[in-house]
Structure 1
């Protein structure tokens, strides 16, 4: 499955580095050519001699040693995939902020191939807000974060933070190389994030959408070869990926115009944004002052982007909508699927723990026009994105 593939394995200082020994052995057995780069602290946890023996190549640690200079630019261009496993909290922070004080970080910053990371840390570190922020930054740069496991940790605690098992990592890598170009040559339109409808120069009507689900979908599609047009609402994190063209918008009207103008050239359109259903009739030119009596704001309906695209849809185009519901979830989702002329609806409910705005997980059920439905458990939004893209691929092949 991996015959001839070039895998660059980065190892940072973590007790989970012992798993990298088995991972190298499994990758080589699967036919991959493996090179290993370690941080200096990783040598305290696993022997370079062991890794060089298993990989059949010298293990690199320093930019300069007594023998030669390690060309980090060439290493970053050599690989078909760079995997950092384990990724320690320290190396994560450096990667998220562009620091470069060792060979591994220099290679990462020079890499032109896809980069994956397999975090490993104690539960409290894993759940710290800084860690979450750094992980989002890495994903925003186009990297893929493999999910951590739950179990016994080095501290003696039981919880989240275990590095993914080598067997699972190998399975993901094999799946990636067998399907990485499924959408090559395809153009995919995605909307993500909220819209802000201004009341005056200071205030707006908005919602709690973070855009994380739409961004995860954009990254997944781009990593599978698609040329992605991402229409992104305000207040959403930075995103930089060579396969994604980002158009920033603020209001529902701006998102409508951007989506409609790009739809005709799209093979697939995924409407993941949380677009305002209503916008103020008038926008005050000056800040509205506080008054003793109440304030009444007249609202008008915004234009329905999904419905409009459904009316414009041509044979060969595939349209996907999202339905965030709080009651009669399944019935409302199926009704939306039919009324909007969509090919697929992704339902999530605010009643489900682990689903909704501003969090890193989601729980979805996917409905299609053939009457099929598939419910998925709570997963990271990147994992949910893979499920949705797989469903789109299956629908295309149906």
Structure 2
């Protein structure tokens, strides 16, 4: 059973919505950079700082009762979010864990980072989770944006093996009211993806203040952290367009559409760019594609694909899984089930590619090792080309 501590806030993947090192993940995005068109940032992006615990945080934790509590997870949350304790303000800019603690304020992503940093310092396992909430649209000038939501789940310490009074396996800390997230589908995401969200938020904040150079370097770092993070592509393209680099913006949006052909933000923004440049026929084709996309809740095509697979309708299952991948190519299970179906259809080359994508988008080393082992086994069985 899982319990949720609900606190109000929303994490925005503004202007949008892995396995290996950041350098390996970003290898395919390097052709997108236009470093020469931007001055050095006023503050260089620092991925390591997002979850860093400073001396003030350690002192606060040492003075708390977390280490002595029967349930250290719940004690930590109470210490952080009771008004009598920190009196945190759930608003403001995107801050690192240490910055949010020092300011006693931060937006939702800041507080997720701070919660995770404190939890790890206390020896608690942490899992980041993306929730399949309904897509929320907004507009920034003539550019369209979508938003997403993440929260964090705290586990029991690995050394805590005694019999507990509670059968809770994890304590979820969320900044939306409980009635808005009860029953909502979720999936685990990697720390690199959370850092990508952080950098993307910083980029969006710089854009809003007209600091294009800073926005570029933060958007660039977002994709350095997670080359599958769609919102990072959208933000980078927006930066290019506002700098007057329409060709670079188009390249980035088309690159995202290669990865996610049904990405609504990319289609809408690219259509507007084409129209602005007088390329009416291309704009019309993109708008037609956008209007043709059926509205369906998250996981709809995936669930339908599983049902088709159970019924032995392989081609239909493949088409349904492809539709889910087309609108969200960052979830490993979509790629895995598409790979299984491709293999059943005898399409070994396509199956291998989807398994590789499942490996690339896996949120943890444990899941990565499972996919790597599966690929090795299928190669040994000569079932993959």
**TM-score when normalising by structure 2:** 0.27
Q: Which structure is richer in relative contact order (CA contacts within 8 A, separation 6 or more)? A: 2
**TM-score when normalising by structure 1:** 0.27
- Tell which structure's C-alpha radius of gyration is larger: 1
Of Structure 1 and Structure 2, the greater strand share is in 1
